[in-house]
Amino acid sequence: MDEGTRTELERLVSRRIDPRKGVSPTMGTVRWSLGGVFIAGYIGINIAGFQQYAGLMMLAALAAVFICWLIPLEIRRATRKRAERHDNFLCPWCRYALTSLPDEGVCPECGSRYKKSVCQMLYQCAYRPYQPTVEELKARETEAWTEAIRLRDQES
């Protein structure tokens, strides 16, 4: 496993990114960037003497941060319901429903290879009401994400 794949696997298992739940590297960067803008804006307003606009600017920045936290929550809720309807057989990379397709193949939406057992394991780990111990969950997800990355990167 090369360094880039190892880094991606670590980010997936630690859930800093989670395509199943709509948390992409971009969304994580946007969240932290907006938080930084919020803090810098507050400091800048008070230093520059623009206190009359502080309330409006803080409200706008707070609304932007709030929306960036709500988008993945809505994606998570919708994906959980969709996964239940399709027996957890969704593409782990793009959340496309694979129920009418064979147990192994290529996702027609994103072109990643998939296996039904891997897809089901990843969605069960993400949305199962009962959560096993942290170590057991990490071990299962590490194994499943490793297989998902291998399948995605495999030549067709």
156 residues of the chain, pLDDT tens digit each: 788 888 888 888 887 777 887 777 665 566 566 666 666 666 666 665 666 666 676 777 777 777 777 777 788 888 899 999 999 999 999 999 999 999 999 999 999 999 999 999 999 888 877 667 888 888 888 999 999 999 998 875
Domain that holds residue 38: 3-153
Q: What is the pLDDT of residue 17?
A: 78
User: DSSP letters of the chain?
Assistant: --HHHHHHHHHHHTTSSBTTTTB-HHHHHHHHHHHHHHHHHHHHHHHHT-HHHHHHHHHHHHHHHHHHHHHHHHHHHHHHHHHHHTTT-B-TTT--B-TTS-SEEE-TTT--EEEHHHHHHHHHHHH-SS---HHHHHHHHHHHHHHHHHHHHS--
Q: What residue has token string 């003497």?
A: 49
Number of domains observed in the structure of the chain: 1
Tokens of 87: 């027996």
Q: What is the pLDDT of residue 31?
A: 59
Q: What is the pLDDT of residue 85?
A: 93
Alpha carbon 73 to its chain's center: 10
